[in-house]
Amino acid sequence: MARTPLPAGLSYRGKTALVTGANSGLGYALATLLLRHDISFLILGVRTVEKGESTKARLLQEPTTKARKDAPEIVFYTMDMLSAESVVEFSEQILTQVPKLDIAILNAGIMPFTFTKSSFTENESSYQVNHLSTAMLAVYLLPLLKKSSAPGQPTHLTIIGSALQLSSTFLKKPIPDSISIQEYMNDPKNSSNFNSRYSDSKLLIGMFTRELATRVDPAQVIIHDVDPGILDTDIGRDMPGAFKQAAKAFAWMIAKPPLVGAAVVLHAVGRGKESHGKFIDVEKVKPSVSFKDVEKGKRMTGKNWEETMEIIDRFNPESMKRALE
Ligand SMILES: NC(=O)c1ccc[n+]([C@@H]2O[C@H](COP(=O)([O-])OP(=O)(O)OC[C@H]3O[C@@H](n4cnc5c(N)ncnc54)[C@H](OP(=O)(O)O)[C@@H]3O)[C@@H](O)[C@H]2O)c1
């Protein structure tokens, strides 16, 4: 499907953007494209100092960056999203060292092939990285995003979601009221295949994003989650040989280069209030994601919000109060 091109003359001059997972795939492409469109201050979220240094060096060597007349400032901060403490530390650094943030793109994510748990939190890895740590970042960064907005100039919080959330089993069969979502996600019996863990974690962050948006004025911060399309990246890096080969063949047939996905995301970032609290499926703004049993879906959405907030506040007390005041 042809993608709508980014507006001619699109310029982020004078703006500050943050991209997590900036060292590879979609994140690196987003950093490249933001630089191509004049971003003045670019913050990279990466896992290690080595990755930060090499990513910054690669970005500065991109012909389009070298061709710029001005010198963009690129900085990086490290964070391991398997660890809640690391997310808190990363956010504290941003909040204390970055005076203004116009665009936050929470892109880092994983699709682990086998059932693994974070050694820091004991939570299943995709639940931790794709949902809990991403939700934590969103909440911790919100006060800075609010402070950085001006009348008629909202800032943007863009979560990289996935259309695979639409195939989550929860839409047909929500988690029963009697079990906590954390307990359910951490039980290997309930997420025996990698596809369901990924889809479920992307639905949970999508549900959380939509709830968060109902509590934030879009005149200040526009919040949404976006599917960038199927991209040829390293997301399937954990797959064993045969799967990886099949995935590569599939990617060769239909996946787009990461820069195409980056343009889709920047297109979403350019959207206004109509996208607030919505899921943007490549270029289609979808009102919501529907549960088969609407009442049960509502209850699970409420439960996901409460539980996630409780976990977030445990690691950074009062953070939600600060985010929503
Ligand atoms: N590829 C697709 O077709 C597709 C489709 C829809 C949505 N998405 C979403 O797009 C986003 C980017 O994925 P991608 O396709 O570009 O895959 P990728 O190349 O594997 O990039 C994933 C990024 O996330 C970072 N990351 C992973 N675990 C992390 C952790 N514990 N702490 C901090 N950073 C971590 C990785 O850093 P390291 O290199 O250090 O691991 C990497 O920079 C993901 O949210 C993915 O779900 C992708």
Q: Report the domain count for the chain.
A: 1
Global pTM value: 0.97
In the predicted model, what is the mean pLDDT of residues 98-110? 98
Residue 270 lies in a domain: yes
- pLDDT more than 70, % of the chain: 99
- Residues serving a catalytic function are 198
In the reported structure, the alpha carbon of residue 194 is separated from the centroid of ligand 1 by a whole-number distance in angstroms of: 15
Residue 3 lies in a domain: no
C-beta neighbour count of 273 within 10 angstroms: 11
**What is the reported pLDDT for 2?**
61
Angstrom distances, CA of residue 14 to CA of 32, 44, 153: 17, 17, 13
Residue with the larger pLDDT of the pair 190 and 201: 201
Residue 5 lies in a domain: no
The minimum-distance atom of ligand 1 relative to the CA of 230 is: 3
Task: Indicate if the pLDDT at residue 92 is higher than 70.
Answer: yes
Residue 10 lies in a domain: no
Report CA torsion sign: 318, 319, 322, 323: negative
Q: Where in the sequence is the domain holding 272, given as residue range(s)?
A: 16-324
Q: Is the CB of 205 under 6 A from ligand 1?
A: no
Residue 309 lies in a domain: yes
Residue 223 lies in a domain: yes
What CATH number is given to the structural domain containing 46?
3.40.50.720
In the reported structure, the alpha carbon of residue 225 is separated from the centroid of ligand 1 by a whole-number distance in angstroms of: 15
Secondary structure class of 155 (helix, strand, coil): strand
- pLDDT, one tens digit per residue, over 21-78 is 999 999 999 999 999 999 999 999 999 999 999 999 999 999 999 999 999 999 999 9
The minimum-distance atom of ligand 1 relative to the CA of 202 is: 47
- pLDDT, one tens digit per residue, over 202-259 is 999 999 999 999 999 999 999 999 999 999 998 988 888 888 888 888 878 899 999 9
Residue 1 lies in a domain: no
Q: Tell me the best of 48, 90, 107 to mutate to test the pocket of ligand 1, counting ligand atoms within 8 Å of each CB and taking the most.
A: 107
Residue 115 lies in a domain: yes
Structure tokens that stand for 245 in this block: 């080969």
